[in-house]
Chain A
Amino acid sequence: MVIDIRNLTTYYDSQKVLDDISFKIRKNRITSVIGPSGCGKTTLLMTLSGLVNKVPHFSMQGEIEYRKKTFTKDNLGELIGRTGFVFQQPLAFPLSIEKNMIFATKYAGIEKSERERIAVEKLKEVNLWEEVKDNLKMKASRLSGGQQQRLCIARALTMYPDVLLLDEPCSALDVKNTAIIEKMLVELKKDYTIIVVTHNLSQAKRISDEIVFVNEGKIVESGTCAGIFNDPVEQETKDYLSGNFG
């Protein structure tokens, strides 16, 4: 297991968003966090990435153990850069494809040749290399939505994170691009631990190994994909999966 979350509570101003959450995330698996809108899924992801401190009004309690190190609200910022984060809206930086890919490695002070090697390697990992290898100098904003989203994933991978966090990565994409990304995520899980937030239940069913069902800031139920979908324990989970609310 890589991440152990213990008694995590987050606030927006004084309002509780996540309420005393504890669970473990296993290595080299795809864990899907599902639940209705506004249940705190995105906040959970932002906390795991360490970004929560960068957003005004947010505060947190509790601790996250990651690679034998414990993070609390004081040192949560150190998690940034160890986890890769992919946002809902595909957003390539307004630079060339190449510059997008070396954006973070340049900051980290990695040598030029090495930076370029990493960029190529990661573009291959997300199956984008064949499509863009001839025009790396092109503005990345000219890529299609699906390509941009894959670029964003590749960009997040350039920092060699162990964990890849994706916030509704396909909700702005069409069916074809969604399929490409889902296939790629399944390929990526041999190298990374992947956490996906989604409210697309069928997508969660297709790709995930583990499911965490969150509602109103609490974990209602968690378990293997098959277990949750075929044999949910809680009545609330049954209702959500059968479409009675959410």
Chain B
Amino acid sequence: MKYRRMLQSHNYVRILSTVAFLMVATVISMIFLLVFIKAGNNLNLSFFLEKPSGFPIGSEGGVFPAIVGSLAFTLIASVSASILALIVALYLEFYCSNERFGEAIRVTIGVIAGIPSIILGLFGYSFLVVYLGFGISLLSGGLVLGLMIFPYIEIKFERIFRDVNEMYKISTYALGVNTGYYIVHIILPVAWRNMVSTISLASSLAMGATAPILLTGAVFYAKAPKSIFSPAMALPLHLYNLVGENISIENAFATAGVLLILLVALNLITWSFSYSGEGR
């Protein structure tokens, strides 16, 4: 009797799942150990603050211009994407009275979300760089990155707004108050924490993306950018170049370390905003 119970299918599932989990856990912890051990040797303050140097360039020195460039790209991307996403999400959730129009917008956003980043890069190149004449620049790259994270932010914003108690809406209307007042005084105060955390999560996506800026804004070597029309370096592309051109695997790991530190910082912001406040 006992043995028959042991041989039931769910126990096989249990064993196999445990094996899968242990496998993944091992691989993941090894990945982290590897990055930090390899990066640790080269990761010091001067790596953050110096320009890349040596021959071929990048084999010595630091990544300062790439840090500045990455931050600038990310800032442009998250500002442009958040503004657009906020307006679209507010409209769809509170103003749109035509259900089919709303559905059409949602499908559109879904399709944009499904376009791979390299294709957005292609579009950015022919539209922003060539057609509008922005050139290979921070602005072009930032806008393409913004386009990449826009659907993500919009969909999350809409969900955040929908999660605010539906009864507030009818209760505020009962007081004779209109939609705009309701949004400003109830929705935004309730939802802003989650909105900030969404934006910072999306920024971390933008900061790590390479393919869109490869064609539109990032270059192999540049000084720290002066205006939004100048091209810039970016950490992920710098990392790719160090590996792809076989320049310095040690510096590649150190660059990866810098990138991960920045991402962890963004994740901490996300975390502190979404969980430090009162639960809804």
Q: Which residues of A contact B (CB under 8 A)?
A: 49, 51, 54-55, 80-82, 84-85, 87, 89, 91, 93-95, 99, 103-104, 107-108, 139, 141, 152, 155-156, 159
Would you list which residues of chain B between 177 and 192 have a CB under 8 Å from chain A?
177-178, 181, 185-186, 189-190
B contact residues around A159 at 8 Å (CB): 175-176
Q: B177 touching A107 by the CB < 8 A rule? A: yes
Question: Count the A-B residue pairs with Cβ separation under 8 angstroms: how many?
Answer: 60
Q: Which residues of B contact A (CB under 8 A)?
A: 165, 167-168, 170-178, 181, 185-186, 189-190, 278, 280
How many Å lie between the Cα of A80 and that of B175 in the bound state? 7
Q: Given known contacts A51-B170, A93-B168, is B186 in contact with A80 (CB within 8 Å)?
A: no
Taking a contact as CB atoms closer than 8 A, the residue among A80, A94, A99, A152 that contacts B190 in the complex is A94
Which chain A residue shows the least CB distance to B164? A94
**A107-B175, A159-B176 are known contacts; what are 13 more A-B pairs with Cβ within 8 Å?**
A49-B174, A54-B170, A81-B175, A87-B170, A87-B171, A87-B174, A91-B171, A93-B168, A94-B168, A94-B189, A95-B186, A156-B174, A159-B175
How many Å lie between the Cα of A81 and that of B170 in the bound state? 12
How many Å lie between the Cα of A94 and that of B172 in the bound state? 12
Question: Shortest CB–CB separation between residue B197 and chain A, in angstroms?
Answer: 17
A contact residues around B165 at 8 Å (CB): 91
A contact residues around B278 at 8 Å (CB): 139, 141
How many Å lie between the Cα of A103 and that of B186 in the bound state? 10
How many Å lie between the Cα of A104 and that of B177 in the bound state? 7
Which chain A residue shows the least CB distance to B176? A81
Taking a contact as CB atoms closer than 8 A, the residue among A80, A95, A107 that contacts B174 in the complex is A80
Question: Shortest CB–CB separation between residue A165 and chain B, in angstroms?
Answer: 9
B contact residues around A93 at 8 Å (CB): 168, 171-172, 185-186
Q: Given known contacts A89-B167, A91-B165, is B185 in contact with A51 (CB within 8 Å)?
A: no
Closest A-B pairs by Cβ, 3 of them: A81-B176, A85-B174, A104-B175
Which chain A residue shows the least CB distance to B186? A93
Question: Shortest CB–CB separation between residue B178 and chain A, in angstroms?
Answer: 8
Q: A107 touching B181 by the CB < 8 A rule? A: yes
Question: Shortest CB–CB separation between residue A202 and chain B, in angstroms?
Answer: 27
Q: Given known contacts A91-B165, A93-B168, A94-B190, is B185 in contact with A80 (CB within 8 Å)?
A: no
- CB-defined A-B contacts under 8 Å, sample of 21: A49-B174, A54-B170, A54-B173, A80-B173, A81-B175, A81-B176, A82-B176, A84-B174, A87-B174, A93-B168, A93-B172, A94-B186, A94-B189, A95-B185, A103-B177, A103-B185, A104-B176, A107-B175, A107-B176, A107-B177, A141-B278
A contact residues around B185 at 8 Å (CB): 93, 95, 99, 103
Q: B171 touching A95 by the CB < 8 A rule? A: no
Question: Shortest CB–CB separation between residue A45 and chain B, in angstroms?
Answer: 11
Q: Which of A80, A89, A94, A95 has the most CB of B within 10 A?
A: A94
Taking a contact as CB atoms closer than 8 A, the residue among B175, B176, B189 that contacts A95 in the complex is B189
B contact residues around A107 at 8 Å (CB): 175-178, 181
A contact residues around B189 at 8 Å (CB): 94-95
B contact residues around A87 at 8 Å (CB): 167, 170-171, 174
B contact residues around A104 at 8 Å (CB): 175-177
Question: Shortest CB–CB separation between residue A15 and chain B, in angstroms?
Answer: 20
Q: A55 touching B170 by the CB < 8 A rule? A: yes
Which chain B residue shows the least CB distance to A81? B176
Which chain B residue shows the least CB distance to A158? B175
Which chain B residue shows the least CB distance to A49? B174
A contact residues around B190 at 8 Å (CB): 94
Taking a contact as CB atoms closer than 8 A, the residue among B167, B175, B177, B186 that contacts A156 in the complex is B175
Q: A91 touching B175 by the CB < 8 A rule? A: no
Question: Shortest CB–CB separation between residue B194 and chain A, in angstroms?
Answer: 13
B contact residues around A84 at 8 Å (CB): 174
Question: Shortest CB–CB separation between residue A70 and chain B, in angstroms?
Answer: 20
A contact residues around B172 at 8 Å (CB): 93, 103
How many Å lie between the Cα of A94 and that of B174 in the bound state? 17
How many Å lie between the Cα of A38 and that of B177 in the bound state? 28
Q: Given known contacts A93-B168, A103-B185, A139-B278, is B177 in contact with A51 (CB within 8 Å)?
A: no
